[in-house]
Amino acid sequence: GNEWDNPMPEEGFLIIAHRGASAYEPENTLPSFELAEDLNADYVELDVHLTKDGELIVMHDDDVKRTTEAVGKIKDYTLAELKELTANEEKGKKVADGRRDEEEAYKIPTLQEVIEEMKDDIRFVIELKDTDQYPGIEEKLVGLMKENGLIGADAKGYPKAVIHSFDKKALKQVHKLESAIPLMQLISFDEGEEAEISAKELRDILTYASGIDVSYEALTPPFVNTMHDAGLAVYAYTVDDAEAALRLKAMGVNGIHTDEPDLLGE
């Protein structure tokens, strides 16, 4: 097992709202996170990057093109410049048009703004991406989590915030900076592939992570059992199909990342 107690709950089936309730509201915006809370999600998942002037902001891509009216890399924009843009991504297609008038609400949020707005109401899964472009982002994130009291568990015993990443180097760096932050290693398997991890790889993951987040189609009952026996929680992404969600739940998976937090009812 782990060198520390696995802080992720072993019971239950957590609903993690992927980029917020992103099937219904523009991804990674405050309305998307607020709707996730309204739909009783356990966590919101969000992605962070650094602006030219070193602010942590919430967006999926490292480029503003897909989700705003502008083009270019986030790292080449100052926060003030990004705040001029609108997070108008078309993914919020299921939402009533009227809500789209609240332009102010669709600004690109800083991580600090999201935390301040949401921390009393929901927990966070924060993804570190493209870290090679952002030297020092791990320190910034850990610092901000500490300032906001996000290290540790809430009254229900769940971690207030978890960091996940495909980037093993970034997770190891966070673990070195603050070992009390629960970490999840994101792992992607190709279509048609069954999940497997070598003994060596598993030993390495256990030195820093509390769990793994796996592309869900690859998960099998023996794999989930093996990971649990090793002391790792197993989460699945991105599950927008209710039947698949129920199958994963029956397999003992600890929770899902979903664009539709009401997938299994509110």
Options 34, 37, 42, 47; binder of Ca ion; rule CB under 5 A:
47
Catalytic residue among 49, 60, 164, 175: 60
DSSP 84: T
Q: Clarify whether 49 is annotated catalytic.
A: no
Cα-based angle 99, 102, 107 (whole degrees, multiple of 5): 120
CA distance 112 to 140: 11
Q: Does 186 bind ligand G3P (CB under 6 A)?
A: yes
Q: Considering CB distances under 5 to 8 angstroms, the limit depending on partner class, which of ligand G3P, Ca ion, none binds residue 160?
A: none
Distances (CA, A) of 187 to 109, 215, 258: 27, 7, 16
Taking CB under 6 A as the rule, does residue 22 contact ligand G3P? no
Pseudo-torsion of CA 5, 7, 11, 16, nearest 10°?
A: -160
Of 200 and 241, the one with the shorter C-beta distance to ligand G3P is 241
Site string for ligand G3P, 33-52 (x = CB under 6 A): ------------x-x-----
Identify whether 18 is a catalytic site residue. Answer: yes
Residue 27 sits in the site that holds Ca ion (CB under 5 A) = no
Pick the closest to residue 46 from 20, 64, 22, 74 (CA basis): 20
| Beta carbon nearer to ligand G3P, 67 or 238 | 238
- Kindly report the CA angle at 150 between 260 and 81, in degrees rounded to 5? 70
Closer residue to ligand G3P (CB): 60 or 160 = 60
What's the DSSP call for residue 130? -
Residues interacting with ligand G3P, by CB under 6 A? 18, 45, 47, 60, 127, 186, 213, 237-238, 257
